[in-house]
Amino acid sequence: MERDDSAGGSRRRGPYAKSAERRQQIVDEAYRAFATRGYHGTSLREIAAAAGIGLSTLQHHFGGKEDLLVAVLARRDELGGDPDAGDGDGRTAFAGLPFADAIAAQAERNERIPGLIALYSVLVAEAASDDHPAHGYFLHRYASMRETYRTEFTALADAGRLRAGVDPALAAATVVALWEGIQLQWLYSPERIHAAEALRGYLDLVVVPGAGAP
């Protein structure tokens, strides 16, 4: 009887598993479309066609385009790391490394996921408009990134390892700006641009070398 119950449970779970697979397929196709054509430049009908399903089937899984965008952003976070700390957060993905090493390591990791970086770059530019459905997501993300890095620079300052005249909040905003800008250049010229080197170069300018870095 236990074996029969288990088999029945597996059969009952079958449709749910298929539904989850279908949702994931839709999200993956939307991810590719948004990365290529942007959110506004992509229609639900195009995503459905790419997934090999009808528009009504897509709408069965996602109530609208905004719902699908939220799922794509969640997928981006799942693949790229902690959404609250950089496009991949060095301190989360590379815990235990000194700040500069963690940042450089994450930048090198990002070079293995160019599609993810392209998606991020397209959406973050589009979402600057207040009425974009992802505006709040990126607004929160930027605030979280700046606070994460401000905390790191403040810890360096307290340890006497931040150069005189460097403001932790400004340095944090500069790291975010440099990281995103250099990654965009890297997308165009991956053979010539290296984000990790640029980030480490900036950090070498503002951080005093020393042992026991936070």
| Residue 23 exposure: Cα atoms within 13 Å on the Cβ side | 18
Query: 41 and 31 in one domain?
Result: yes
pLDDT of residue 84: 35
Last residue in a domain, options 48, 79, 110: 79
CATH of the domain at 176: 1.10.357
Query: 114 and 55 in one domain?
Result: no
Round to whole Å and give the CA distance between 27 and 59.
Answer: 12
What does 114-182 look like in DSSP terms, one character per residue? HHHHHHHHHHHHHTTSTTSTTHHHHHHHHHHHHHHHHHHHHHHHHTT-B-TT--HHHHHHHHHHHHHHH
pLDDT of residue 169: 98
CATH of the domain at 5: 1.10.10.60
Q: State the average pLDDT over residues 53-66.
A: 92
Q: Is the pLDDT of residue 213 over 50?
A: no
Query: 51 and 126 in one domain?
Result: no
* Structure-token pair, residue 121: 């770059």
Neighbours of 104 (CB within 10 A): 23
Query: 214 and 148 in one domain?
Result: yes
Q: What is the band of 212 on the pLDDT scale with cuts at 50, 70, 90?
A: very low
Query: 69 and 110 in one domain?
Result: no
Domain count, the chain: 2
For residue range 157-202, list pLDDT tens digits in order. 999 999 999 999 999 999 999 999 999 999 999 999 999 999 999 9
Given a contact cutoff of 8 angstroms between Cβ atoms, the answer to whether 213 and 98 are in contact is yes
pLDDT of residue 64: 87
Q: Which domain does 158 fall in, by range? A: 81-214
Query: 198 and 104 in one domain?
Result: yes
- Give whichever of 61-70, 94-103, 105-114, 158-167 has the largest mean pLDDT: 158-167
Range of weakest confidence among 3-7, 96-100, 120-124: 3-7
Q: Which residue has the higher pLDDT, 4 or 159?
A: 159
Q: What is the DSSP letter of 207?
A: B
Biggest CA-to-CA distance, the chain: 74
Query: 32 and 122 in one domain?
Result: no
C-alpha torsion 126→185→196→71, nearest 10: 30
Q: What are 124's strand-pairing partners?
A: none
Residue 88: in which H helix or E strand, if any? none
Query: 182 and 147 in one domain?
Result: yes
% of residues, the chain, pLDDT over 70? 83
pLDDT of residue 4: 46
pLDDT of residue 15: 63
Q: What is the band of 210 on the pLDDT scale with cuts at 50, 70, 90?
A: confident
pLDDT of residue 10: 45
Q: What is the band of 95 on the pLDDT scale with cuts at 50, 70, 90?
A: low
pLDDT of residue 156: 95
Neighbours of 37 (CB within 10 A): 13
pLDDT of residue 111: 87
Q: State the average pLDDT over residues 49-75.
A: 90
**Would you say the pTM of this structure is higher than 0.85?**
no
Q: Is the pLDDT of residue 129 over 70?
A: yes
